[in-house]
């Protein structure tokens, strides 16, 4: 049976099930969410008002046995950036949506009754609207527990905590992963959009949990094998990431002088060793955690981990470099266990661990806490933010709003979104991605670190301007396409360095749908998506002046390489010449 | 002697005195500040960073005996709107600058030492940089007292209070008026720019206080007489404003259904009588205040007043309709004396009384206080804001940031600036001005209320779309020109209805400078200024999507006329076709 569009209207608690219009047929994941948002959402609407929509869509290969194909996309107009947003996640939702035959779930409108939160229960040809007063004021794990008590453990659960209820910009949408922990549609404040629509959680039950149909199973199997081998043989996705997780990057970036330290004042941190991937792996091994762990079924990279405290008690999983960097070098916490505890708490609260950690680091500049004061940082995170105190409201509104509230000049954001983990002056290709991606400062949108620092797909000198615009452009185009397949971004390392990888990926798509796409088609899909998103942003009011890094990076020199951000506006704007 | 440009660089505490380049020669007031900002300030710079500039410029007729010519302009990139800003003020500064021969005072850079605040003392051919540690943490009247103890009473004083030191977006720049009270460069957060430059106050001493030279004194005298007569014979500037101040408008707008009530939910307020101009005038008379009072020497309208409490003690002056509306109908305070007390406090603190009152009214929607809770409102204003508590930081950042911090949808701002006192759905010409003026929601930029409600310059039905774009365009062009002359905006009523008024104004300019401008020249000047400002804003990132009213006004119907904001984007954008 063909996939269908499930369309929910919160204004009158109704739903419709629609056939997929032909124009959306070849799209999945980000390609589909961004297309639907661009077609159906007024770019000038208020992100928390009745005219914004949330669109969930699994990737083209989600629900199949293809390695690392379990990413689900969520799109909307972002309350954080004011532009279009796509944020994809591992966990179980992509697979379940695909198996249920849901091409996209579109959620429109706002309920008239402002005091009731709902659970949406999505099953074959049905959506139930269940008031959940008992879950109001609860955070993610409590919601998850309640749903697991009620349904089969395989039911997909997407939820918000108190932060999302309060419509804070740092709110994410959390998703149950295969081990019962949480993954996040992290960036862009999409949890606030869910909160505005008074949806506490969404459960999706695919009943028999069968795999999706494959048009040419033999071809699929063969391509899948090649693809998996490419991932496993790549030194980054096959060795570095499984051994140390993404946190392998602390030492790498520190050595490269691109680890933003003390709110982007320096490119190296003297205490990097305390928080690096190697230290993390040692702790995990000594305490009975797991160094390898997948965020979704079928992951062969296993960059996640389970990190326990000294007593062997669970602290967190999905413990990522960007969060560790922000609470570490940026905010100054040297205690990796405390960082892990805060990471686990952020999962439960349902906040973007990047935005939240970046804003806490900026709070040092605002005089709210001292550099390295983990105790105060924990108090702000565990008390002020979830209680919605005035201080919590400022921090919960994100980095840009903290800067505005305290009259700060050194505010590390692009399009209002906090800059993560890679110093743009010292990793200039990444800087171009931060400046230009329609998503606001987002490292995943075009991960130039790969070629600037990790020598994936060749090498472009991170400190020089030459080649960076082209690099960021090619990577963003490729990423827009990859984000449409349901693939984890980390397939990019193999795709960049192994000539067999990308053809195998395209072959899997062709085998799944019985079509005959070429690599050029996929590249063109990436271009189309990127331009569509860019056009939405321009209509929403995000123009050239928003494709810029913070001004201070132009006149402040970053040690140790003593570099500035030296791209002119025209040079940056040339990104869009394709 | 020809006028000169005084240019101050705070980065190294130096100054230069420059001849006026020929391109700036015919400009004054807003025309000059906007031109200098557009030419010299990078539109993409951070408003509180080293690359913003403050530009003070008296109007073309300031310092002469022309009635109502005492307005001084201040321009900069606004931290509130992110666009260009001009805010003009009465008081004594325009006259003193003119008499000293200062065509413009340009202040650049930021001091390296972040802990020292300065007084700039401007005298003939000199600028002194005087550290004033004793004034740090003081508000405006304390600064004024200190300066009056030190200098001749005629010295002009411009200052910021604690709010400006803290670089809050509601901070204004206050100016001493002839009676020793305060007037404000109110809107756009220009006090935060002054705070960022570590300038606590600016004193200007013209030593002998002579009038400026007039090329043709006879012609000037004659034109001046006609002009003054036109002001005095006009029913609004000659009778309404002197009798009740601008607060004459409470009853007028309430009757018109255009008095925004309960955060723009209704167009009439059942308690309007408690705060109206008639009640105000009665109180003043009963308590020994003054119903008429001029904000600058040479004012023949005298719309200001001195408002005392029941014991006859001074509460405030310059007690304007927009402030009274915001604390009244918008926030719900029915006690005019409390409103006056808050108005006086806002003068001392140095905050934009519109932005501050609008944000306090929105705070009701955020659940921070109850509608009408004056006690809590006073506490927020007198404690939280000046102490810079977290709540004070949110409110002090203005209406837009409060909305962002609390995830609110019904946020009455345009370009981040709070909408004042005239409901755009019920006074649609004013709505077009709010949407399009480069200044952010600013009623003075093109006061369509005049023709929509007061029947000045004819009548355009306030509830219908027809003619509003043209009306707002013509008024904004005229206002940009008037704001360049140093004239008070209230000369517009006579200019609209008395055929002799505008020619007399042009004659005065010609007589002052010995030139031969026509009315067309003046109109073209207005067009040029407006386009220059608009172009700056576009480069700064404020495009079509920012020329919009809040979305809720499109789908919420306003009683009693049950009107919505029904202009399409294209219709609004047609404003710029000139």
DSSP characters over A28-42:
-HHHHHHHHHHHHS-
- Min Cα distance A338 → chain B (Å) is 26
pLDDT at A207: 85
**DSSP H or E run through B159:** strand B156-159
The reply to whether A388 and A472 lie within a common domain is no
The reply to whether residue A394 touches residue B396, judged by beta carbons under 8 angstroms, is no
Question: Can you tell me the mean pLDDT for B36-49?
Answer: 98
Same-domain check for residues B192 and B81: yes
- The confidence score (pLDDT) of residue B1 equals 58
User: What pLDDT, on the 0 to 100 scale, is given for residue A293?
Assistant: 87
Contact B551 A43 (CB under 8 A): no
Choose among B203, B32, B38, B9: nearest CA to B103. Answer: B32
Question: Which helix (H) or strand (E) covers residue A219, if one does?
Answer: helix A217-233
Q: Distance, in angstroms, between B398 CA and closest chain A CA? A: 9
CA–chain centroid gap for B169, Å, is 14
Do A48 and A174 have their domain in common? yes
Dihedral, CA atoms, B315, B318, B322, B325, nearest 10 degrees? 30
For A67, what's the count of Cα atoms within 13 Å in the CB-facing half-sphere?
25
In chain A, residues 334-393 whose CB comes closer than 8 Å to chain B: 389-391, 393
B284 within 8 A of B207, measured Cβ to Cβ: no
Average pLDDT of every residue of chain B: 96
Does B406 contact A at CB distance below 8 Å? yes
Contact B550 A46 (CB under 8 A): yes
Residue of A112, A114, A160, A390 for testing the chain B interface, max B β-carbons within 10 Å: A390
What is the rounded distance in angstroms from the CA atom of residue B172 to the CA atom of residue B351?
5
Q: How confident is the model at residue A187 (pLDDT cuts 50, 70, 90)?
A: very high
Question: Which residues in chain B have Cβ-Cβ distances shorter than 8 Å to A542?
Answer: 541
Question: Does B178 lie in the same domain as B33?
Answer: yes
- CB-CB under 8 Å, B545 with A545: no
Nearest-angstrom CA–CA distance, A536 and A445:
17
User: Which of A192, A173, A5 is closest to A80 using CA atoms?
Assistant: A192
A571 at interface of B, judged by CB pairs closer than 8 A: no
What is the SS3 string spanning B199-216?
Answer: EEEEEECCCCCCCCCCCC
Asked if residue A77 is part of any domain, the answer here is: yes
Could you tell me if B315 and B200 lie in one domain?
A: no
d(CA B531, CA A157): 53
The burial class, CB within 10 Å (0-12 / 13-18 / 19+), for A75 is buried
Last residue of a domain, one of B182, B204, B226: B204
Within 8 A of B552 by CB-CB distance, chain A residues are 46, 49
B401/A396 touch (CB, cutoff 8 Å), yes or no: no
CB atoms within 10 A of CB B151: 15
Give per-residue burial for A20-41: e unless 16+ CB within 10 Å, then b: beeebebbbbbbbbbbbbbeeb
Give the distance from residue A47's alpha carbon to the nearest chain B alpha carbon, in angstroms. 8
A139: exposed, middle or buried (Cβ count in 10 Å: 0-12, 13-18, 19+): buried
In the numeric block, which tokens belong to residue B332? 């719900």
- A304: tokens are 């996640």
Residues 211 to 250 of A: which have CB under 8 A from any B CB? Answer: none
Among the listed residues B446, B537, B528, the one whose alpha carbon sits nearest the alpha carbon of residue B492 = B446
Sign, Cα dihedral of A467, A469, A472, A476? negative
% chain A with pLDDT above 70: 100
Do residues B74 and B89 lie in contact, with contact meaning Cβ atoms separated by under 8 Å?
Answer: yes
| Domain match, A38 and A185 both | yes
* A399 & A457 share domain: no
**Which residue out of A78, A407, A435, A440 would a mutagenesis test of the B interface target, given it has the greatest number of B Cβ atoms within 10 Å?**
A407
User: Looking at chain A, which residue has its C-alpha nearest residue B368?
Assistant: A390
Q: What CATH number does the domain containing B34 carry?
A: 3.60.9.10
Tell whether B540 lies on the interface with A, counting CB pairs under 8 A: yes
CATH code of the domain containing A575: 1.10.599.10
Task: Give alpha helix (H) positions in B41-188.
Answer: 93-100, 140-150, 162-165
Extract the tokens encoding B360: 């306090």
In a domain, A241, yes or no: no
Question: Is pLDDT at A149 greater than 70 in this prediction?
Answer: yes
- Chain B: nearest CA to A115, how far in angstroms? 14
Residue B359 CB partners (closer than 8 Å, separation 6+): B170, B395, B398, B399, B402, B418
CA distances, B35 to each of A348, B25, B29 (Å) = 53, 11, 10
How does pLDDT run across B232-252, given as a tens digit for each residue? 999 999 998 998 999 999 999
| Residue A558 belongs to domain spanning | 424-497+517-578
Asked whether the beta carbons of A547 and A436 are under 8 A apart, the reply is yes
Residues A394, A331, single domain; the answer is: yes
pLDDT digits (tens, 9 = 90+) for A216-241: 999 999 999 999 999 999 999 999 89
pLDDT at position A278 over 90:
yes
**Which residue of A lies nearest to B167 if distances are taken between CA atoms?**
A407
Please check whether residues A145 and A62 belong to one and the same domain.
yes
A394/B393 Cβ within 8 A: yes
CB contact under 8 A, A409 and B196: yes
Chain B hits for A196, CB-CB cut-off 8 Å, are 407, 409
Is residue B515 over pLDDT 80?
yes
pLDDT of A211 over the 90 cut: no
Domain end residue (candidates: B365, B390, B421): B421
Q: Which helix (H) or strand (E) holds B76?
A: strand B72-77
Min Cα distance B31 → chain A (Å) is: 25
Long-range CB contacts for residues A171-174, cutoff 8 Å, separation at least 24: A171/A195, A171/A350, A171/A351, A171/A352, A171/A396, A172/A87, A172/A350, A172/A351, A172/A352, A173/A74, A173/A87, A173/A89, A173/A350, A174/A140, A174/A347, A174/A350
Nearest to B8 by CA among B108, B126, B91: B108
Q: What is the pLDDT of residues B526-550, one digit of tens each?
A: 999 999 999 999 999 999 999 999 9
- CA of B548 vs chain A CAs: smallest distance (Å): 9
B508 falls within a domain: no
Chain A: closest CA distance from residue B471 (Å):
25
Q: Enumerate the β-bridge partners of residue A445.
A: none
Q: Cα separation of B436 and B415, whole Å?
A: 10
Q: Is residue A442 part of a domain?
A: yes
Question: What is d(CA B306, CA B291) in angstroms, rounded to the nearest whole number?
Answer: 7
Cβ contact A407–B543 (<8 Å): no
- Eight-class DSSP state of B121: E
**Separation in Å, CA B151 to CA B58, B134, B143:** 22, 17, 12
Tally helices (H) and strands (E) across chain A. 26, 17
Contact B51 A409 (CB under 8 A): no
Share of chain B above pLDDT 90, in %: 96
Residue A351: per-residue pLDDT? 98
Report the percent of chain B where pLDDT is more than 70: 100
B83 lies within 8 A of chain A by CB: no
Q: Using an 8 Å CB-CB cutoff, list chain B residues near A546.
A: 541
> Which residues of chain B have a CB within 8 Å of the CB of A401?
397, 401, 404-405
Q: How far is A389 from chain B (nearest CA, A)?
A: 9
Q: Chain A residue with minimal CA distance to B388?
A: A406
Cβ atoms of A64 and A512 closer than 8 Å: yes
For residues A63 and A173, membership in a common domain is answered with: yes
Does the pLDDT value for residue A209 go beyond 80? no
In terms of DSSP H, where are the helices of B76-197? 93-100, 140-150, 162-165, 190-196
Q: Is the residue at B180 inside a domain?
A: yes
Residue among A49, A51, A551 whose CB faces B49 most closely: A551
- Minimum Cα–Cα distance from B554: chain A residue: A45
**8 Å CB contact of B405 and A407:** no
| Residue A296 contacts residue A95 (beta carbons within 8 Å) | yes
Q: What pLDDT score was predicted for residue B191?
A: 98
Chain B nearest-CA distance from A264, in A, is 16
Burial of A134: CB neighbours in 10 Å, binned 0-12, 13-18, 19+: exposed
The reply to whether residue A391 touches residue B396, judged by beta carbons under 8 angstroms, is: no
pLDDT of residue B338: 98
Same domain, A8 and A80: yes
The single residue listed with the structure tokens 């005392």 is B308
Residue B183, CA distances (Å) to A492, B265, B313 in order = 61, 31, 20
Digit-coded pLDDT (tens) for B550-568: 999 999 999 999 999 999 9
Query: For residues B559 and B267, is the Cβ–Cβ distance under 8 A?
Result: yes
Q: Which of A83, A393, A551 to mutate to test the interface with B (most CBs of B within 10 A)?
A: A393
Query: Within a domain: residue A506?
Result: no
Per residue in B453-481, pLDDT tens?
A: 999 999 999 999 999 999 999 999 999 99
Contact B169 A404 (CB under 8 A): yes
CA distance A236 to A115: 49
Work out the minimum CA distance from A157 to partner chain B, whole angstroms: 24
B405 touches chain A (CB under 8 A): yes
Q: B407 vs A555: CB contact, 8 Å cut-off?
A: no
Among A196, A407, A541, whose Cβ lies nearest the Cβ of B545?
Answer: A541
Residue A1 pLDDT class (50, 70, 90 cuts): low
Q: How far apart are CA A482 and CA A500, in angstroms?
A: 16
Give the Å distances, CA to CA, from B208 to A342, B67, B211.
66, 21, 9
Tally the domains of chain A. 3
How many residues are there in chain B?
A: 578
Asked whether residue B223 is domain-assigned, the answer is no
**pLDDT digits 0-9 by tens, B147-196:** 999 998 999 999 999 999 999 999 999 999 999 999 999 999 999 999 99
A478 in a structural domain: yes
Strands A199-204 and A118-123: parallel
Tokens found for residue A109: 């409108």
Residue A386 C-alpha, separation from nearest chain B C-alpha, in angstroms: 13
Average pLDDT, chain A: 96
Q: Which of B355, B369, B407, B556 to mutate to test the interface with A (most CBs of A within 10 A)?
A: B407
Do residues B305 and B199 share a domain? Answer: no
> CB-CB: which of B168, B394, B409 is closest to A390?
B394
Closest CA to B231 of B31, B517, B451, B487: B487
Place of tokens 């802990």: B115
Q: Could you tell me the two tokens for A356?
A: 């939240």
pLDDT of B487 higher than 90? yes
Interhelix angle for B336-349 vs B140-150, to 10°?
A: 60
CB of A155 less than 8 A from some CB of B? no
Q: Residue B280 sits in a domain of what CATH number?
A: 1.10.569.10
Contact flag A46-B79 (C-beta cutoff 8 Å): no
Q: Is B397 at the interface with chain A, CB within 8 A? A: yes
Question: Closest-CA residue in chain A for B568?
Answer: A44
pLDDT value at A2 more than 80: no
Q: How far apart (Å, rounded) are the C-alpha atoms in residues B16 and B280?
A: 48
List the one residue out of B59, B63, B190, B189 whose CA is nearest residue B486: B59
Residues of A in contact with B546 (CB under 8 A): 541
A543 with B541: Cβ contact below 8 A: yes
Give mean pLDDT, residues B379-392.
Answer: 98
- Please tell me the predicted confidence (pLDDT) of residue A205: 95
């Amino acid at each position: 049976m063909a996939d269908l569009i499930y369309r929910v209207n919160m204004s009158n608690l109704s739903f419709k099930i629609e056939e997929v219009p032909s124009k959306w047929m070849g799209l999945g994941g980000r390609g589909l969410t961004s297309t639907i948002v661009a077609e159906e959402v007024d770019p000038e609407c208020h992100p928390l008002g009745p005219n914004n929509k949330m669109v969930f869509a699994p990737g083209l290969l989600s629900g199949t046995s293809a390695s690392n194909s379990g990413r689900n996309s969520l799109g909307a107009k972002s309350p954080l950036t004011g532009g279009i947003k796509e944020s994809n996640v591992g966990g179980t939702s992509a697979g379940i949506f695909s198996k249920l035959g849901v091409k996209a779930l579109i959620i429109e409108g706002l309920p008239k009754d402002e005091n009731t939160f709902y659970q949406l229960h999505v099953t074959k040809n049905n959506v139930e609207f269940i008031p959940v007063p008992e879950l109001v004021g609860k955070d993610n794990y409590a919601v998850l527990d309640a749903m697991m008590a009620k349904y089969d453990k395989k039911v997909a659960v997407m939820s918000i905590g108190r932060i999302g209820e309060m419509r804070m910009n740092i709110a994410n949408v959390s998703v149950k992963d295969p081990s019962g922990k949480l993954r996040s549609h992290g960036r862009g404040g999409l949890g606030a959009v869910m909160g505005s629509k008074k949806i506490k959680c969404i459960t999706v039950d695919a009943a028999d949990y069968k795999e999706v149909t494959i048009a040419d199973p033999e071809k699929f199997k063969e391509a899948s094998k090649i693809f998996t081998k490419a991932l496993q043989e790549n030194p980054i996705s096959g060795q570095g990431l499984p051994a140390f997780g993404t946190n392998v990057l602390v030492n790498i970036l520190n050595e490269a002088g691109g680890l933003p330290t003390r709110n982007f004042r320096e490119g190296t941190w003297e205490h990097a060793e305390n928080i690096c991937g190697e230290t993390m792996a040692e702790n995990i091994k000594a305490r009975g955690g797991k160094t390898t762990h997948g965020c979704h079924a079928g992951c062969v990279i296993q960059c996640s981990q389970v990190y326990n405290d000294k007593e062997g008690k669970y602290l967190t999983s999905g413990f990522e470099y960007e969060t560790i960097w922000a609470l570490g070098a940026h905010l100054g916490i040297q205690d990796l266990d405390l960082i892990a505890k805060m990471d686990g708490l952020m999962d439960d609260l349902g906040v973007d661990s990047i935005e939240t950690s970046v804003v806490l680091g900026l709070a040092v500049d605002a005089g709210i806490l001292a550099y390295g004061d983990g105790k105060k940082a924990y108090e702000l995170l565990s008390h002020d933010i979830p209680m919605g105190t005035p201080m919590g409201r400022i921090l919960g509104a994100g980095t840009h709003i903290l800067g505005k509230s305290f009259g700060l000049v050194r505010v590390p954001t692009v399009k209002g979104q906090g800059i993560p983990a890679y110093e743009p002056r010292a990793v200039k290709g990444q800087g171009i991605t931060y400046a230009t991606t329609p998503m606001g400062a987002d490292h995943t949108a075009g991960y130039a670190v790969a070629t600037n620092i990790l020598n994936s797909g060749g090498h472009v000198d991170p400190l020089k301007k030459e080649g960076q615009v082209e690099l960021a452009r090619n990577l963003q185009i490729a990423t827009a396409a990859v984000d449409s397949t349901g693939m984890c971004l980390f397939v990019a390392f193999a795709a960049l360095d192994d000539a067999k990888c990308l053809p195998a990926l395209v072959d899997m798509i062709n085998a799944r749908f019985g079509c005959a796409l070429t690599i050029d088609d996929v590249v063109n899909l990436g271009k189309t998506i990127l331009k569509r998103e860019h056009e939405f942003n321009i209509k929403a009011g995000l123009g050239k002046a928003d494709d810029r890094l913070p001004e201070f990076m132009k006149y402040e020199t970053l040690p140790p390489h003593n570099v500035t951000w030296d791209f002119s506006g025209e040079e940056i704007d040339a990104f869009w010449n394709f």
